[in-house]
Amino acid sequence: MNSILEQSRKNNPALGITGLLCVSEDLFIQVIEGGRDEVCDLFNAIVRDQRHQQVRLLIYEEIEVRQFGNWTMAQVNITKLNPSMLLKYFKRAELDPFSSSGKATLALLSDLIATGAIIGHRD
């Protein structure tokens, strides 16, 4: 985990990539922001990486403004969140992005920024 974050924080600035990595016990949610080609290339590299299993695209959209522009790759440990925050977006008080829309998962991550639940380097 730390090596992935370190590599992201090292490589992403040159690519113009920003984002967030959300971690639970056995699930990772990553937001990648940047140019279309750079985001596609990075996503494809993640899919090919043997360390990752069952990679799924939850939402892909053009954005007018970056939500995670201050981070080369921020980190959130979802296990330390108040369960009511998770219930706001999911059926149960657990991170389950497959039981709701990609927009709901993105809204949760935006709330995490607003509440200061972000860990890691801020650029």
Query: Could you tell me the residue ranges of all domains in the chain?
Result: 2-114
pLDDT at site 39: 95
- Here the tokens at position 53 are 């299993």
What pLDDT band is residue 24 in, cutting at 50, 70 and 90?
confident
* 117 has a pLDDT exceeding 70: no
Q: In what order do the strands lie in the sheet with 74-77?
A: 28-33, 18-23, 74-77
pLDDT at site 123: 47
pLDDT at site 121: 47
Query: 10 Å Cβ neighbour count for 108?
Result: 22
Phi, psi dihedral angles at 83 (to 5 degrees)? -55, -30
pLDDT at site 122: 46
Give the class (CATH, top level) of 2-114.
Answer: alpha beta
pLDDT at site 52: 85
* 1 has a pLDDT exceeding 80: no
Taken in order 80, 119, 31, 40, the sign of the CA dihedral is negative
